[in-house]
A and B are shown apart, each in its own frame.
Chain A
Amino acid sequence: MTYDLKLRVWRGDASGGALRDYTVPVDDGEVVLDAVHHLQAREAGDMAVRWNCKAGKCGSCSAEINGRPRLMCLARLSTFERDEPITITPLRTFPVVKDLVTDVGFNYRKAAEVPAFSPSAAQPQAPFKMAQIDVERSQEFRKCIECFLCQDTCHVIRDHEDNKAAFSGPRFFIRYAELEMHPNDDGDRRQLVQQERGLGLCNITKCCSEVCPEHIKITDNGIIPMKERVADVRYDPVRFFRRRQGNPS
């Protein structure tokens, strides 16, 4: 069944912009991204929006819908009140390029800082032997579709531009966790992630886990285990003492 949906979409660019009201005919069973596409095809051909797979697998169509960071392709219209307008704004943490498109280069710069996977001395050359139970923890983090909603919602950088330089964000904390837990990786990134990637800035308020469309337990399975691993190497007096004795654990 078709009905008229009221949309309020932020239109503008780096120099400024405003919410603009639209009405588009939509169908039952459609998602917010469909409504945006109808809008593009009918009256806003130049409205900028990123999207690719339209199935929650690529993580391109991130936006803030009624103030909540979400993927537009997974926001079913049936979950909204029909006569209430739906407000769509670009991700707030990143600089606007145009309309719903933001400059997410921050994330790509942080990605480039991650030291690559380094195979262990015991098994330097694939094919590796690795048990399923040993790869599962890292596999959870590799489900990440890089929608950057966790980065967007994280108050450490959302509200504090000055923290951006020293903070990699939840997406990359689980990347570090993935490498730390990789059964055939020999690297030790614990000091790095605490001292230079800003793990200590995270106060585990879990907004990242709440917005993750892949339902990755970013905080419980990624960040907290990383904080504990960091504690092993930095905040453990016993180990600290043993290191002083020239007796590395």
Chain B
Amino acid sequence: MQPTISGTVLLAFIAYSTWAAFANSDYFARPYISPFYSPCLASICGSARAGSQHVSAPHVGIFGPWWAISPAILVLIFPLGFRLTCYYYRRAYYRAFWQSPPACAVGEPHKRYSGETRFPLILQNFHRYFFYFGLIFNAILTYDAVVSFRSTTDKWGHMGLGTVVLVVNAALLWLYSLSCHSCRHIVGGRLKHFSRHPIRFKFWGVVTKLNSRHMQLAWASLIFVALTDLYVRLVASGTITDPRFF
């Protein structure tokens, strides 16, 4: 992808997600919760604004009522950190924002260059920990997708467009996480002898295949997570009604 295009898309995402994260409203419309606000760690979610009403969004009250601003701030650091230290996004934003380099074989405008050898960029080496946290989030968002098969009255057997959106979102996030370079290393890449670990070798093979699509999955999951938030937001604010399949 061209640095200018990837830069533009990234900026658009940052703008939207910052706004959405601080909005502190319209993130829950039973049974759908926005991925930006899940899990909710603050008790204010118990009375979340949705359109002109207040609804009780699922939450654990680790942060009591004293936490008055958007609860999204509490959790977004993890997916943000995962993407920020991701080997693919690093390439994209180093090229697009840092111009380091602006393009291959094109001179870069910096006098000195120390790569990822110093603070803060040396922290890129912690990518794998964000990957681990990312897995926890994937599990929670998968749970959110599963419970979206319950109706507004908590009865199983519901499916609306929102359900599909949440399921696709969770699937894309799994694919993005599993295609991660750190995952590839952890699953089997670090081994010296594949032949002695046939099962891990198989996993490594699958992850390697996914890994070759890491860039596409990075973009798809990024854009879709924003769209998911947008969809929940539109339903919660009453702008649209969730089409129900059964």
Contacts and interface: CB of A to CB of B under 8 A. Distances in A.
Contacts of B110: 159
B105 A158 contact: yes
Contacts of B91: 203-206
B16 interface: no
Majority-rule SS of A interface residues: helix
Contact of B90 (A64, A201, A204, A232): A204
B62 interface: no
Contact of A235 (B95, B126, B194): B126
A171 interface: no
Given A156-B115, A234-B125, A183 B211 contact: no
B95 A231 contact: no
Contact of A153 (B87, B105, B128, B190): B105
A115 B125 CA distance: 25
A185 B111 CA distance: 40
B202 to A, nearest CB: 11
B113 interface: yes
Interface in B114-164: 114-117, 121-122, 125-128
Interface stretch (A40-48, A74-82, A96-104, A220-228): A220-228
Interface stretch (B44-52, B75-83, B181-189): B181-189
A181 B191 CA distance: 8
A133 B116 CA distance: 32
B100 interface: yes
A203 B94 contact: yes
A201 B95 contact: no
Interface string B103-115: 0110110101111
A198 to B, nearest CB: 8
Interface in A177-214: 181, 183, 198, 200-207, 210-211
A205 B94 contact: yes
A224 B122 contact: no
B201 A156 contact: no
A236 B128 CA distance: 9
A232 B192 CA distance: 14
Given A67-B105, A153-B104, A205-B95, A133 B201 contact: yes
Given A183-B192, A203-B94, A225-B185, 19 more contacts: A67-B105, A158-B101, A162-B112, A183-B193, A198-B117, A201-B117, A203-B116, A204-B87, A204-B94, A205-B104, A206-B91, A207-B104, A210-B104, A220-B211, A225-B184, A225-B189, A228-B128, A228-B190, A229-B185
The 5 closest A-B pairs by CB, nearest first: A201-B115, A207-B104, A131-B195, A228-B185, A155-B101
